[in-house]
Amino acid sequence: MKKLLLHTCCAPCVSYVFELLKNNYEITCYFYNPNILPYSEYHKRLDELENFCTLNGINLVIPENEVKKFYKKLSQLRHLGEKSGRCLLCYKMRLRSAAEYASANGFDVFGTVLSISPHKVSSWINEAGKELEEQFGTEYLEADFKKNDGFKKSCELSLRYGFYRQNYCGCIYSKNERKKLLK
């Protein structure tokens, strides 16, 4: 069975993807999300993921949280909205970290759960992953996990597990945008 390093942003998103892939891959989750602020939100998502991984016997890798590096890179794009160049740069940064780790640690494949969200541009995610596949020599798992009701199924699994579900992507910019929409 191939070893898959699966970049994961939260337990709700990985729950359905894990169910979908667990029979074909030996999965290790990779929680690299320097975009997530405030820190209390980061830790809520990480705690849920740790519980899910423990419950399902999944290995979990938690690299350094490079939040300052992330916001330094993206601050010039803070005014752009969801599904913009800001998000593309975020995808690339997180996928690069996963690709580097996968290549350095003998994984056969790397991928991400990000495409399960209806707020994410799957084609951008997959293009970035394929570029990194060429650069690092580790196969990228191209996917659009929101297809075939993937997002809906992840919501149903979240209810079953009693997961906390966030109402914004993770970065402080998306949180502020969400607040404006709710006013």
Task: Report the predicted TM-score, pTM, of the whole model to 2 decimal places.
Answer: 0.91
pLDDT tens across 49-98, in order? 999 999 999 999 999 998 898 888 766 766 666 665 677 888 999 999 99
> What's the helix, strand, coil split of the chain in %, to 5?
55, 10, 30
**What are the strands of the beta sheet with 25-30, ordered from one edge?**
59-61, 25-30, 2-7, 109-112, 139-140
Give the CATH superfamily of 2-182.
HUPs (3.40.50.620)
pLDDT tens across 23-39, in order? 999 999 999 999 988 89
